[in-house]
Amino acid sequence: MNIEEFKLLKRVVAIAVFLSCFYMVWPFIDVLAFSCAFAYMTKPIYDKLHPYIGKSISALACLLLFTIPTVVLMLVVLKEILLYMQTIDINAITNDIIRLLNYFGINKTSVGEFNQILIQGWELIKPSIKGMINQISLLPHIAIKIVMIFFTTYYFLKDGHKLKDVILSHIPEEHQYKTKIFLEHLNESYKNLFIGNALTSLVIGIVAGMGYYLIDVPNALFLAILTGLFALLPIVGGWTVYIPLTIYYIISKDYIKALEIFIFGAVFLSTMPDFVIRPFVVKKEADLHPVLILIAFLIGPLTLGIKGFALGPMIVGALNAIFAMKTRRNMDSQ
């Protein structure tokens, strides 16, 4: 065997090993995605703790205080929401909406068209909801993945800073600068998606729950969760919950409660997130386009199921990093 043949054999073996590893890891790609998401969300806490108590204990503290309670709560709440959504009588809801539209004098033709769109849209979404419920119901498989998420998140927090150097060490020297720039943009994109939007929606959900409870709105917990989920999405936001609530109480002639809900929503669910919470948790220059956020947090889960909640933002973050790198390259060349 000559040198060229040996080099070719080495490449074939390396490719075969890489493809084998990829095939083996692929069923657990959602584990890596969720671990990455939780590591990013707890990174600010970890950064505050590790100078005082060390990397290992800081990572463990983040795991015990944030990641484990969050995962358990997410699974319980998500399953309850999905089960509740399956029991929704879409015809009863459309009848209520039709009565509301009639109250405001909207013509019957528009009402009928809206009714058909709502019913067809619901039928389109129902398979995705059933698929998510089936994923959650696979308890043994889910339990294994959850344990793996905990361990992987721990090591991402503890040793994640080494990933950049490991990646660059395997990149040819002439491409290291561009790769480094890409990794920096990728990091900023993930920080914005996971820390900025996810943490903002979590805070909005908590604030919404407290406000709805104090105002004495029925089903305050469910409405708070709904508000937090909608807060993930641009344009949609928390107003899609508190505005219909306000209209409902106006129609019910409970004007004081309607005014309380509207003022609370306008101040704490619309103004505060954009001017206080989001600027505090993420750099302004790292903002993503609203369409990308919509794809990450809405289309991702609808297409990929439960894993889409983490994989969607990761895919979109990588796409944004590629475009950001290209934009920077064009600016440097001018």
pLDDT digits (tens, 9 = 90+) for 271-329: 777 677 666 665 554 566 777 777 777 777 777 777 777 788 888 888 888 887 777 66
Asked whether the beta carbons of 42 and 62 are under 8 A apart, the reply is yes
- In this structure, the answer to whether residues 333 and 186 fall within a common structural domain is yes
Higher-confidence residue of 24 and 229: namely 24
Q: Would residue 314 count as lying in a domain?
A: yes
Whose tokens are 């959900």? That residue is 205
Q: How confident is the model at residue 188 (pLDDT cuts 50, 70, 90)?
A: confident
Q: Would residue 19 count as lying in a domain?
A: no
Neighbours of 250 (CB within 10 A): 16
Query: What does the alpha-carbon distance between residue 62 and residue 58 come to, in Å, rounded to a whole number?
Result: 6
* pLDDT computed for residue 220 by the predictor: 81
**What total of structural domains would you count in the chain?**
2
* pLDDT computed for residue 285 by the predictor: 43
Higher-confidence residue of 251 and 257: namely 257
| Beta carbons within 8 Å of 91's beta carbon, 6+ residues apart | 119
- In this structure, the answer to whether residues 313 and 186 fall within a common structural domain is yes
Last residue of a domain, one of 112, 131, 158: 158
Q: Would residue 13 count as lying in a domain?
A: no
Supply the pTM of this predicted model.
0.65
- In this structure, the answer to whether residues 73 and 219 fall within a common structural domain is no
pLDDT digits (tens, 9 = 90+) for 153-177: 888 888 887 887 888 877 877 777 8
Residue 247 has pLDDT above 50, yes or no: yes
pLDDT above 70: percentage of residues in the chain: 70
Residue 332 has pLDDT above 70, yes or no: no
- In this structure, the answer to whether residues 243 and 106 fall within a common structural domain is no
Mean pLDDT in residue range 195-206: 80
pLDDT digits (tens, 9 = 90+) for 91-145: 666 666 666 656 555 555 455 555 666 666 666 666 666 665 565 555 566 777 8
* pLDDT computed for residue 157 by the predictor: 86
Query: What does the alpha-carbon distance between residue 14 and residue 252 come to, in Å, rounded to a whole number?
Result: 69
Q: Would residue 15 count as lying in a domain?
A: no
- In this structure, the answer to whether residues 205 and 79 fall within a common structural domain is no
Higher-confidence residue of 290 and 213: namely 213
- In this structure, the answer to whether residues 95 and 184 fall within a common structural domain is no
Residue 216 has pLDDT above 50, yes or no: yes
Last residue of a domain, one of 101, 125, 158: 158
- In this structure, the answer to whether residues 212 and 323 fall within a common structural domain is yes
Last residue of a domain, one of 98, 130, 158: 158
pLDDT above 90: percentage of residues in the chain: 0
- In this structure, the answer to whether residues 136 and 229 fall within a common structural domain is no
Kindly compute the dihedral angle of the four CA atoms of residues 284, 285, 286, 289, in this order, to the nearest 10 degrees: 90
Query: What does the alpha-carbon distance between residue 105 and residue 110 come to, in Å, rounded to a whole number?
Result: 11
- In this structure, the answer to whether residues 94 and 193 fall within a common structural domain is no
- In this structure, the answer to whether residues 183 and 289 fall within a common structural domain is yes
In whole angstroms, how far apart are CA 95 and each of 219, 240, 247, 248?
A: 21, 19, 16, 14
Q: Which amino acid is at 65?
A: L
Q: Would residue 165 count as lying in a domain?
A: no
* pLDDT computed for residue 218 by the predictor: 82
- In this structure, the answer to whether residues 211 and 302 fall within a common structural domain is yes
Q: Would residue 16 count as lying in a domain?
A: no
In whole angstroms, how far apart are CA 82 and each of 151, 214, 236, 332?
A: 28, 26, 20, 49
* pLDDT, the chain, mean: 76
Asked whether the beta carbons of 226 and 217 are under 8 A apart, the reply is no
Structural domain of residue 217, as residue ranges? 176-334
Helix (H) / strand (E) element for 70: namely helix 68-86
